Amino acid sequence: MKSVEKFIANALSAGQTTLSEYDSKMILAEYGIPTTKEMLIGDLDEAEAAADNIGYPVVLKVCAAAAQHKTEQKLITLGIPNAVELKKAYDRLAPKALDLGGGILVQEMVRGSREIVMGLSRDEQFGPCVMFGLGGIFTEALGDVSFRVAPLSQQDARDMTTEITGSKILEGIRGLEPARIDQISRHLQQLGQIGLDHPQVRNIDINPMIIRKGRPVAVDALIELQKHQPPASQEKSVTGNLAKLFEPQSVAVIGASGTPHKAGNDVIQNILANGFEGKLYLVNPKGGEILGHRVYPSIQSLPDAIDLAIIILPAAATPQAIRDCAAKGAKAIVMAASGFAEVDEQGEKLQQETIQAIRETGVRAIGPNTSGHTSTPHNFTSSFFPLGKVPRGHVSYLAQTGNFATHTMRYIISGEHFGVARVLGMGNKLDVEESEVLEYYGQDPETRAIFVYLESFKKPRRFLEVARRVTRSKPVILLKGGSTAEGSRAAVAHTAALASDDRITDGALRQAGVVRVYDYSHLILAAKALATMPLPGGNRVSFSAPSGAMLVCMTDLCQRRWGLQVPQLEEKTRRYLQEISPPYIRMRNPVDIWPAATATGVEFAYREGTEAVLKDANIDAAVMILMITEETGVPSMEFIVELAKRYPAKPLYVTFSGQKKHMDAAKAYLEPRGVPTFPLIEQPFEVLSILARCRNAMQR
């Protein structure tokens, strides 16, 4: 709005970086945010006239840019009932107003039963962000707030009001009129628009906003300005083609080695083990032959053009190697070296030289400080960690760490028995960054679910834009490192990353439909579940267990911690469970399976009980807590595989209680046959909770 723009420009020209309450509310009112009736006065006569006009009781406040935290500084008098008390308040506040270079504000006394807070802050990564929470003098202590990145949709704003811990206060409890969520949501959107329209606005604080007869009214407000506008966003749309990175037809290893266990040898071993069908060229000044392949003495001596180059050279040699590879037609580069900006000033200088080489040649590059990438649909990996054959699957990883292309991938292959479609370690992200890879995965028919580990966002708003599209059709699950001050410092040491305020990051990811996790293991366990089973249709779970304690504890945790429902079974399901159980036990969900197991045998009870709940229309997923001991009998695992095949639309997860050797044997049998298992009984429920959130995000 032009009037607001002019007002802000004049304020900044006059040297103001903090607006008074009166001026702040004037801007809010221009955007349709309701504020109190009030008048700025110069003397007692004007104060009395204003109070008569507004109507007693009134509030008297010092109004100045420096008049913040008015209650603590005793710059406010509430509930003034008449002219006599008005004079006393005026006499007390007028000298303070003079000291602060401000005036006196006469304001209507707004009475309400609930206080909320709204605000806007300009985050270094995400730009203007809107905040909502419970207000009043305890706002900072409670910290019960939510964030979203501007602009906000109506649903974004409504979600902010429901996800705070105290959201029930906004409902019609104890005879109170429900707060008008539609109006609160609209005002949150309007706050975001102020931030988008006026980059000179650094912060807005509306605290409190009182709910009066269900409607929010801004009682106090503060706007802070900044003289220097933030730079215009450089987050342009993705235009680069990543096809040569993930789908190369010819590959050169620059720095190939004949010495076993060196990076330049392991990468060749991996390429050959995965059956790469394209042309493979090796480069080393010594020439000769490695693993049956001719070695060329230089990049220039290669006989043909190449699609992708894997550069395993010292950092100082990387910029020239990029130029030489580009001259040979390379469109994609993997830079394995470390020793760049994550190390010291010399490394920072070398990093800038590398960036210049990338820009000059137009190649697409991952790294440096990366351990490579994997693309099983094209039987290819550039990882220099000894992986062997990487099994093909339909989950993909994107990581700001080398782990998922190295030892974590080795663990997944050997210990969790599932395959992947694509894996990429970004390293220092000099060129290819997370939003590009996310967009590629989103369009990739081989990728059905996406798992992300990040310590920072190179193009934060672009990432959110891409994620909003991708999460409509595919689950995106993310672990963010550097979410604490200590974690952020560790991230700087690792990949020169910077952390944003974690609550803002959390709100931004929710807004984009990205499901955030906080345990490293969940990136593996949830991937295993989606690699072998479908995404659950909802959050309704049934589980069978051999222990009453397990039934009670898991049911409590489903409701209190994991957001899962343990619903009643259909009557026909309940009756059948009763038929296979002794008459002294009353069957329900969750299923106390042990009485049936003692009467009919472990395998029969688990098979019949699990099949019954898988057929039940009230159930979205089933968990089997299977007892395996020699004393109680070790059932054949074939019946579990058969059930999973017979009911492919519903996930079936297995966890165990019993002897470890039999549990390990069951895992080794079930997982290669498509049934995920979990070592701890809480884990399948944690995974179901994550996947239920994914389903909600996709349905939003």
Over residues 73-85, the pLDDT tens digits come to: 889 999 999 999 9
Which residues lie below 8 Å from residue 63, measured CB to CB, with a gap of 6+? 20, 21, 22, 40, 97, 102, 103, 104, 105
Over residues 357-380, the pLDDT tens digits come to: 999 999 999 999 999 999 999 999
CB 71 within 8 A of CB 137: yes
Using a cut of 0.85, tell me whether the model's pTM lies above it: yes
Do residues 270 and 136 share a domain? no
CB 230 within 8 A of CB 202: no
Do residues 383 and 521 share a domain? yes
- Whether residue 273 is predicted with pLDDT greater than 70 in this model: the reply is yes
| Helices of type H across 362-473 | 407-411, 434-443, 460-470
- Whether residue 349 is predicted with pLDDT greater than 90 in this model: the reply is yes
Do residues 406 and 468 share a domain? yes
Closest to 609 (Cα-Cα) out of 666, 635, 631? 635
Whether 304 is covered by a domain: the verdict is: yes
Whether 29 is covered by a domain: the verdict is: no
**From CA 278, how far away is CA 293, in angstroms rounded?**
13
**Residue range 10-24: mean pLDDT, rounded:** 92
**From CA 210, how far away is CA 355, in angstroms rounded?**
53
Whether 13 is covered by a domain: the verdict is: no
Can you give the pLDDT at residue 193?
98
CB 244 within 8 A of CB 308: yes
Do residues 132 and 196 share a domain? yes
Complete DSSP assignment for 566-583: -PPPPHHHHHHHHHTS-T
Q: Of 502, 530, 558, at which residue does a domain stop? A: 530
- As for how many domains the chain has, the answer is 4
Do residues 78 and 118 share a domain? no
Q: Of 488, 511, 530, at which residue does a domain stop? A: 530
CATH number, domain containing residue 423: 3.40.50.261
Whether 171 is covered by a domain: the verdict is: yes
Do residues 449 and 373 share a domain? yes
CATH number, domain containing residue 182: 3.30.470.20
Over residues 177-189, the pLDDT tens digits come to: 899 999 999 999 9
CB 394 within 8 A of CB 387: no
Whether 221 is covered by a domain: the verdict is: yes
Among 43-47, 234-238, 690-694, which stretch is predicted with the lowest mean pLDDT? 234-238
Whether 25 is covered by a domain: the verdict is: no
What is the domain range of residue 616?
536-698
* Bridge partner residues of 453 (DSSP): 399, 479
Whether 22 is covered by a domain: the verdict is: no
Do residues 186 and 313 share a domain? no
Whether 601 is covered by a domain: the verdict is: yes
Do residues 421 and 280 share a domain? yes
Over residues 122-156, the pLDDT tens digits come to: 998 899 999 999 887 656 666 789 999 999 999 99
Can you give the pLDDT at residue 513?
98
Q: CB pairs under 8 A, 24+ apart, for 467-473?
A: 467/438, 467/509, 467/512, 467/513, 467/514, 468/511, 468/512, 468/513, 469/439, 469/442, 470/438, 470/439, 470/441, 470/442, 471/512, 471/513, 471/514, 471/697, 471/698, 472/513, 472/698, 473/442, 473/698
Over residues 51-109, the pLDDT tens digits come to: 999 999 999 999 988 877 777 788 999 999 999 999 999 999 999 989 888 999 999 99
3-state secondary structure 179-217: CCHHHHHHHHHHHHHHHHHCCCEEEEEEEEEEEECCEEE
Can you give the pLDDT at residue 495?
27
The 8-class DSSP code of residue 475 comes to -
Share of the chain above pLDDT 70, in %: 95
Can you give the pLDDT at residue 486?
58
Do residues 310 and 438 share a domain? yes
**What are the tokens at 58?**
């009134």
Distance in angstroms between the alpha carbons of the first and the last residue of the chain: 32
- Whether residue 234 is predicted with pLDDT greater than 60 in this model: the reply is no
- Whether residue 233 is predicted with pLDDT greater than 60 in this model: the reply is no
CATH number, domain containing residue 73: 3.30.1490.20
Do residues 340 and 482 share a domain? yes
Do residues 261 and 274 share a domain? yes
Q: In which band, very low, low, confident or very high, does the pLDDT at 230 lie, cut at 50, 70 and 90?
A: low
Among 223-232, 415-424, 638-647, which stretch is predicted with the lowest mean pLDDT? 223-232
Do residues 119 and 92 share a domain? no
Q: In which band, very low, low, confident or very high, does the pLDDT at 579 lie, cut at 50, 70 and 90?
A: very high
Q: Of 501, 530, 559, at which residue does a domain stop? A: 530
